[in-house]
Structure 1
């Protein structure tokens, strides 16, 4: 995950050198939400952050990699989650960072948009984190992790555009 943060950092460095570059805001989805959160707080020059079903609570979300899947790591050298193959290096890295704790240090406007039926990144945990830290939290009722239905994608995009076009 840190390599993704570094890659995004370099993209932002490139953009910052352009004469037309003004304020930069970020959108991040799922694990990309964790990347966007780390990037925003570590750089200090990000205006706003909008996160979709973010994996901010990475320690809790990925803790099962340490316990439930250790035999898979030892036997196969990776874990097959059904969507991705997780390497031991990724497991160690993701558990060494506390994204939520770091992101508490971001002082710009934040909107978190989450589907109420998300079973990948637990809705209630992220909602509680957002409320405890004064972040704007918006629910797309009935939406899963991927906002699979068209009406859910439409709502997600409307909430995102509204956030970025608000004067703050």
Structure 2
């Protein structure tokens, strides 16, 4: 029997900019419940493709687990310009969301999980590495090599080539991104970050994903196994980056739910 839940839009502030968010929580719980923070992908938002974040959050709430979905600064309904922020800013936004979750009256601050999708997998890996209170992480189609992924699609993307002396921004896939964003990519190593996270991790990937190839999940898995850390993988034979077809989408949501119920 599923639990009744509430769904409430709210916002919190970080570095003077408002971050738009949505909280889901069981409506009749009298004791604190676990919470999952969602990290969306590149140019995404707290809804994500085919409402997959919304559907996942509602499933969690029906099983007694709260969640916060939020838009990074410069994305979705949050304040700021996309071109002014970097992946490390998204990590800071995630940590701010974790702190916002701690202020919710219904949340057990000892039971916090992260769910990262695509570039949000990179973001969640860094946030988990930096936040000792994170109990578990689930990554969907996570980016392991941010610089390589961008460079493969834009071979001229070295800052000195892509940006003129007076040009601090460049177009990439219809979005303006800044020099700082590109330069930050070269310093990111989310595989190492997640290999230092000691708690359990579930890695999920579609084997037909051509946007973020399954080799990215393989890299995370290998690094964690080398450190003898609890790690499981869910490889979906027919799924692309958006986790289609629907049968495997359903398996993704179910396995993610079971993982959080077990580890939170």
Q: TM-score, normalised by structure 2?
A: 0.57
Whether contact under 8 Å (1:131, 1:137) holds in the other structure is: no
- Count of residue pairs the alignment pairs up: 167
Greater helix content:
1
Q: Which consecutive unaligned segments of at least 5 residues does structure 2 have?
A: 1-86, 226-230
1:86 and 1:155 map into 2 onto residues whose CA distance is 35
Which of 184, 196, 205 is the matching residue for 1:93?
184
Which of 148, 168, 176 is the matching residue for 1:60?
148
Greater strand content:
2
Q: Based on CA coordinates, which of the two structures has the bigger radius of gyration?
A: 2
Residues 125 and 2 (structure 1 numbering): CA distance in 2 closer, same or farther, change over 3 Å? closer
Residues 61 and 162 (structure 1 numbering): CA distance in 2 closer, same or farther, change over 3 Å? same
1:6 aligns with 2:102: no
Superposed, 1:15-94 pairs within 5 Å as 15-22=101-108, 23-64=111-152, 67-70=155-158, 71-74=161-164, 77-81=169-173, 84-94=175-185
Q: What secondary structure does 1:133 align onto?
A: helix
Q: TM-score, normalised by structure 1?
A: 0.85
1:115 aligns with 2:206: yes
Residue 72 of structure 1: how far off its partner (Å): 4.8
Of 52-61 and 137-146, more deviation after overlay is shown by: 52-61
